[in-house]
A and B are shown apart, each in its own frame.
Chain A
Amino acid sequence: NAGVTQTPKFRVLKTGQSMTLLCAQDMNHEYMYWYRQDPGMGLRLIHYSVGEGTTAKGEVPDGYNVSRLKKQNFLLGLESAAPSQTSVYFCASGLTSGGGNEQFFGPGTRLTVL
């Protein structure tokens, strides 16, 4: 079991460039999430999905788009990168259970926008 994987691990973009971050999970989880982690801000939810073909906005969705064409994959797109999007991006997946929703995190993608 690989768990949650993310590609790429690192990326440097110039302002205005676009890119897609890929998240994959092999745990058959229904729910998937994209967060960004910034110093002093904790983790903030960008977008999430409660199942294949569905997406919804989180706390900080502006400037990002997502797609969940397959249950195991959740893509995060930046159409026109801005320096304010320099951050570490984490993907997570989870499922509900009687014991509450544990989320499993990927290793993160460190993105720098110049």
Chain B
Amino acid sequence: AQRVTQPEKLLSVFKGAPVELKCNYSYSGSPELFWYVQYSRQRLQLLLRHISRESIKGFTADLNKGETSFHLKKPFAQEEDSAMYYCALSVQGGSEKLVFGKGTKLTVNP
């Protein structure tokens, strides 16, 4: 069965510090992974997807198939990065469903 695990419910760092939000997945097929972000009182929005290999707002994430991980990283956290972050796995097979992790709430302190 497909599963996404985000081991940290809460993560708190200081402004300027590096941040890493962990995501591990379980899926028998070829994984497509995403990070979604939800800022306070806003809707979820896509932050980045592994297939694009892009950096958005300074965040990057590398798919490691050996460790079945897709950790989100940023070298210097900013206060505006405070938000809820969800890792998601796309399940192929015609429905294109997303399986979400339970989320990590990131707080960047001044």
Contacts and interface: CB of A to CB of B under 8 A. Distances in A.
Interface of A: 4, 31, 33, 35, 40-45, 48, 50, 56, 58, 90, 92, 94, 96, 99-103, 105-108
Contacts of B95: 31, 48, 50, 56
Interface of B: 6, 9, 32, 34, 42-46, 49, 51-52, 86, 90, 94-103
B34 A102 contact: yes
A67 to B, nearest CB: 17
28 contacts: A31-B95, A31-B96, A33-B97, A35-B100, A42-B101, A42-B103, A43-B86, A43-B100, A45-B97, A45-B99, A48-B97, A50-B95, A50-B96, A56-B95, A90-B43, A90-B44, A92-B44, A99-B49, A99-B52, A100-B32, A100-B34, A100-B49, A100-B51, A100-B90, A101-B32, A102-B46, A105-B43, A108-B43
B51 A40 contact: no
A105 B97 CA distance: 14
Given A31-B96, A40-B102, A44-B100, 12 more contacts: A42-B100, A43-B86, A45-B97, A45-B98, A48-B97, A50-B94, A50-B95, A100-B32, A101-B32, A101-B98, A102-B46, A103-B46
Contacts of B32: 100-101
What DSSP secondary structure best describes chain A's contact surface? Answer: strand
What DSSP secondary structure best describes chain B's contact surface? Answer: mixed
Given A43-B86, A50-B94, A90-B44, A102 B49 contact: yes
Most buried by B among A42, A45, A90, A105: A42
A114 B36 CA distance: 31
A40 B96 contact: no
